[in-house]
Amino acid sequence: MTLTKIPFTKMHGLGNNYIYLNCLEASPENPEDLAIKVSDRNFGIGSDGLVLIMGSEQADFRMRMFNSDGSEAQMCGNAVRCVAKYLYEKNLTKLTSIKLETKAGIKILNLKLKNNLVTEVSVDMGAPILKSKLIPVASEEPQLTNYPIEFFGEQFKVNAVSMGNPHLVIFVPEITDRLVLQLGPKIEHHPLFPERINVEFAKIINRQTIAMRVWERGSGETQACGTGACAVAVASALNNLSDRQVTIKLLGGDLDINWQENDHVIMTGPAEFVCDGEFYY
């Protein structure tokens, strides 16, 4: 069997790490299988998934992303910031405002530079989706905001929000391993969510600060989730638990989220290179 040598870059946004491939000229076959192999932290490179950077007919560039279980995701806030840094610092563009096509639509990435390096990226994540059928949630309720529901014998008030991918936000007095690591995967696969769901457990610190941990659909607990942070900010504002501009504190660091009056959510945070390398596939 002949193996192909593929160059890669590993990057992270607040610890949410992916393998990035330059696919502007050619894309690998079967990226679903490739994502599983490179993500394996014992037998692969180790990551939360795989990101393909591609050309686009609708925008400046296109991104496809795959979770560590091989499933394709619509969107990842941390990954799009890394794509912006990758494109600029690897001299694939000199644009400081990049239009990026994703499965959740075209996102605008605005780069903050210092000494010609990208220090921060602000992303216009668009407007949140709150209608149950569009998230999707298999419920007759048109919208789940502070909605009481029982999961596996426990009562919670939940908030369903899509930021191009589905999220369920649950505000709790304390965020525990039991909630995230035991209840999180059960909720992800609950029949109420036909496309599975990302689950955020959030604790209000004050009106400008919220702590959260996330169980990500297809990847398990990660250090950060950009779309999840946006969903938490939207849910907290809807419930009058916080202002519309907040800092979300994740395991990997902080994201600044601003739910603007025009209904668009702006996410601002860092992106970092880890290493370049080659693997055989």
**Predicted confidence (pLDDT) per residue in 207-253, tens digit:** 999 999 999 999 999 999 999 999 999 999 999 999 999 999 999 99
CA–CA separation, 55 and 58 (whole Å):
9
Give the active site residue among 76, 82, 230, 275.
76
Question: What pLDDT is attached to residue 1?
Answer: 60
Q: With contact defined as beta carbons under 8 Å apart, do 214 and 187 qualify?
A: no
Residue 280: the pLDDT is 87
How far apart CA 124 and CA 80 sit, in angstroms, is: 11
Catalytic residue flag (residue 225): yes
pLDDT at 205: 98
Structure confidence by residue, pLDDT tens digits, 88-98 = 999 999 999 99
Tell me which of 23, 225, 230, 275 is the catalytic residue.
225
CA distance 151 to 188: 11
Q: Does the annotation count 230 as an active-site position?
A: no
As given in the structure block, the two tokens for residue 248 are 């979300």
What pLDDT, on the 0 to 100 scale, is given for residue 3?
80
For 73, list phi and psi in degrees, rounded to 5: -105, 155
Listed as ranges, residues in the chain with pLDDT below 70 are 1
Q: Which residues pair with 253 in a beta bridge?
A: 250
Give the E-state strand segments of 14-124 in sequence order: 16-22, 49-54, 61-67, 72-73, 97-102, 105-114, 117-124
Q: How far is CA 110 from CA 62, 75, 82, 123, 259, in A?
A: 16, 17, 12, 6, 16
pTM for this prediction? 0.92
Q: What is the pLDDT of residue 255?
A: 98
